[in-house]
Chain A
Amino acid sequence: MPEGELVGIFALTWQVAVMLGLGGLLIYLGIARQVEPVLLVPIGMGIILANIPLGGLTETGGLLAILRTFGIETELFPLLIFIGVGAMIDFGPLLQRPYTALLGAAAQFGIFGTFFLAYFVGDGGLHLFDFSFHDAVSIGIIGSADGPTSIYVATVLRSKYAPAIVVAAYSYMALVPIIQPPIMRALTTKTERALAMPARAEKVSPRTRVLFPVVTILVVGLVAPKATPLIGTLMFGNLLRESGVVERLSQAAQNEMANIVTILLGLAVGGMMVAKDFLRPETIMIYVMGVVAFAVGTAAGVLLGKLMYVASGRRINPLIGAAGISAFPMSARVVQKVGLEANPHSHLLMHAAGANTAGQIASVVAGGAVLVLVSFFA
Chain B
Amino acid sequence: MGVVFATLGLLVLVMTALNRLLGAKPAAKATPGGRTGRA
A101 to B5 CA separation, bound complex (whole angstroms): 9
Interface residues of B in 18-35 (CB under 8 A from A): 18-19, 22-25
Q: Is A212 among interface residues, defined by CB-CB distance under 8 A?
A: yes
Most buried by B among A95, A101, A211: A101
- Say yes or no for B39: interface residue by CB 8 A criterion: no
The chain B residues found within 8 Å of chain A, CB to CB, are: 1, 3-12, 14-16, 18-19, 22-25
Which residues of chain B come closer than 8 Å to A365, judged between CB atoms? 3-4, 7-8
Number of A-B residue pairs with CB-CB distance less than 8 Å in the complex they form: 83
Residues from chain B with a CB closer than 8 A to the CB of A112 are 1
Query: Which chain B residues lie closer than 8 Å to A202 at the CB level?
Result: 19, 23-24
Task: Specify the main secondary structure of chain B where it touches its partner.
Answer: helix
| 8 interchain pairs, CB-CB under 8 A | A102-B8, A104-B8, A105-B4, A106-B5, A108-B4, A204-B24, A205-B22, A365-B4
Given contacts A108-B1, A212-B15, A219-B14, 16 further A-B contacts (CB under 8 A): A94-B15, A95-B15, A95-B19, A98-B12, A105-B4, A203-B24, A211-B22, A212-B18, A215-B14, A216-B11, A219-B11, A220-B11, A224-B7, A361-B11, A365-B3, A365-B7
User: Which residues of A are found within 8 Å of B22, using beta-carbon distances?
Assistant: 205, 207-208, 211
Which A-B residue pairs are the 6 nearest by beta carbons? Answer: A98-B15, A105-B8, A203-B24, A369-B3, A205-B24, A207-B22
- The reply to whether B12 and A99 contact each other, CB–CB distance below 8 Å, is yes
In the assembled complex, the CB of B26 is this many whole angstroms from the nearest CB of chain A, namely 9
Number of interface residues of A (CB under 8 A): 34
- Cβ-defined contact, B19 with A98, below 8 A: yes
Looking at B3, B10, B19, B22, the one whose CB has the most chain A CB atoms below 10 A away is B3
Contact partner, B8, options A205, A212, A361, Cβ 8 Å: A361
Which one, B4, B23, B25, contacts A362 given CB within 8 A? Answer: B4
User: For window 219-257 of chain A, which residues contact chain B by CB distance below 8 Å?
Assistant: 219-220, 223-224
Q: Which residues of chain A from 113 to 158 have a CB within 8 Å of any chain B CB? A: none
Report how far A207 CA is from B18 CA in the complex, Å.
9
Nearest CB in chain A: distance from B1 CB, A: 6
